[in-house]
Amino acid sequence: MADELKKIAFLVASEGIEQVELTDPWAHLEKAGAQPRLLAPKLGQVRGFHHLDPADAFDVDVPFAHADPADYDAVVLPGGVANADFLRLDKDAVAFVKAHVAAGKPIAAICHGPWLLVEADVVRGKRVTSFPSLRTDLRNAGADWADEEVRVCDAHGWTLVTSRNPDDLAAFDEAATTAFGL
């Protein structure tokens, strides 16, 4: 149906989410006409952080184990060191990303968000950026890493948008919106 809103899955852990990397793209995509949905390990609430300081709580829409990647048009992976580290250990989150990539759907990841892509083994041959501490992990996983505001890679059947940190959110939001066809 042409009038149906595109559903965007925001994958997060239960805590440690860099709040602005969740709320800013969420608002931008919503304004562009998308329907963001918050996916996490379980129903309830997740906790955002302003770097290391606890911030707001957000209601989870769907737990990973009950989420069908086919129901979503795109994925956003917000950063936060703890968030990304917890996510890469969640087998359902990894499986969701693998299925999404296999379907050729776009993903946007910021800051530490690409750690989940490393775990899913989907960055080989992709042009990426991230928070600098992930550089070696991404290169070891076969990615072409560079310290840039935003990188967009259309290769291997799907589009990947990556950015370094909250300072890059304006460029990240615009690139994700375009990649998601909004």
Catalytic: 111? yes
Residue given tokens 């996916």 in the structure block: 39
Q: If 0-12 CB within 10 Å is exposed, 13-18 middle and 19+ buried, where does residue 78 land?
A: buried
The catalytically annotated residue of 17, 20, 109, 111 is 111
d(CA 90, CA 29): 26
Question: Under 8 Å CB-to-CB from 102, ≥6 apart: which residues?
Answer: none
- What value does the CA radius of gyration of the chain take, rounded to a whole number of Å? 14
SS3 101: helix
Q: Which amino acid is at 149?
A: E
Residue given tokens 């911030």 in the structure block: 55
- Residues with a known catalytic role: 111
